[in-house]
Chain A
Amino acid sequence: MHGSVLQNKKYIKFHDENTVEVMSLGSLQSGIDKGDKRAGTYMGKDAAGNDVEYLLEWPGLTKDDIGKLRSSPAGQFNQTGRIPYTSIVDPFTGKEMMVIKGATSGKIMDAVLAQKKVLQSLHGKGITRKDLRGIQKGQAAVAKAMSKGDLKKAVAAAKKLEAKANKKSEGLQAMAATTMKTVTTEISKQLDAVAATLDGGDMKAAKSQLSKLRGVVRGTSLQERFDEIDGKIKAASAK
């Protein structure tokens, strides 16, 4: 069942275009204790580049992920006491749309296409995974720049993301806007800090802090706030 569906070349390609796959795996510790080779692991790296021990049979998932998935709603659907159990779930309602008995890759694909049609008739077409990956790549670039404290680069990456998303669907535009919001929130905090320094009377320090943000705010919604603080510093300097 595992190999014939989840490792099936045709199904892997199909899922990339049509499904999100969730694993609810029981008794993993028992498998580990028995030395079951299916509980074996390999070392990989996560998105941030950290070494992580993943499960060989369920690539990309750690023992901890499996435990959390098992205790999440994903672990509540199979009330039959039998495994394997396969069902199709509506992500909007969190309810099962259908249970697939004797699930083969062919049966699952047929069922997915039918239920996808139902979801799209109710909620619209959605975005493609290719577009989603493009946005995720852009988000990663923004996150990387922010983790290094390079807000100018983060703004540039977020703007690039917005430009890309503007040519696509509303869903992607919302993701890009959320990413930009993450960046502008951080810039806003830094402007608050400059304003606090100025209010505290240390004009020289405030001026120095603000000058570092000049290139960062350009073309963002925070330009006006920057100009306001800049104006106060200039007015104080003139006294």
Chain B
Amino acid sequence: MKKLFPIGAMVAVAAAIALAGGDKPKPCVAFAKSWEAACAEAKLLCCPIVLHSHGFN
């Protein structure tokens, strides 16, 4: 709980991003910025974390 103030600025940022020009991303889920932020937010919402492991082949 003590770190909630900075967490508020870190999580679910995708919705808050204002584009500054150039290519635009497609609508997408909002990703947590860090593992710690993900855990803190998921605890508050009492919901699971969905972990996606992807990569470049």
Contact = CB atoms under 8 A, between A and B. Distances in A.
A26 B47 contact: no
Interface string B35-57: 11011111111111111111111
Nearest to B18: A45
A140 B10 CA distance: 11
Contacts of A1: 54
Interface string B1-37: 1101100110111101111111111111111111110
A30 B44 CA distance: 36
A165 to B, nearest CB: 12
A41 B57 CA distance: 19
A59 B14 contact: yes
B33 A60 contact: yes
Contacts of A92: 43
A79 to B, nearest CB: 10
Contact of A21 (B35, B52, B56): B52
Given A77-B51, A139-B5, 17 more contacts: A21-B32, A21-B50, A22-B35, A44-B18, A44-B19, A59-B17, A83-B57, A87-B51, A88-B50, A89-B51, A91-B47, A96-B51, A116-B47, A126-B43, A127-B46, A132-B44, A178-B4
A22 B51 contact: yes
A172 to B, nearest CB: 8
10 nearest A-B residue pairs (beta carbon): A126-B46, A26-B55, A91-B42, A60-B14, A31-B56, A72-B35, A85-B53, A78-B53, A59-B25, A20-B42
Contacts of B55: 25-27, 83
B8 A140 contact: yes
A48 B9 CA distance: 9
Contact of B8 (A15, A28, A65, A136): A136
A236 B8 CA distance: 45
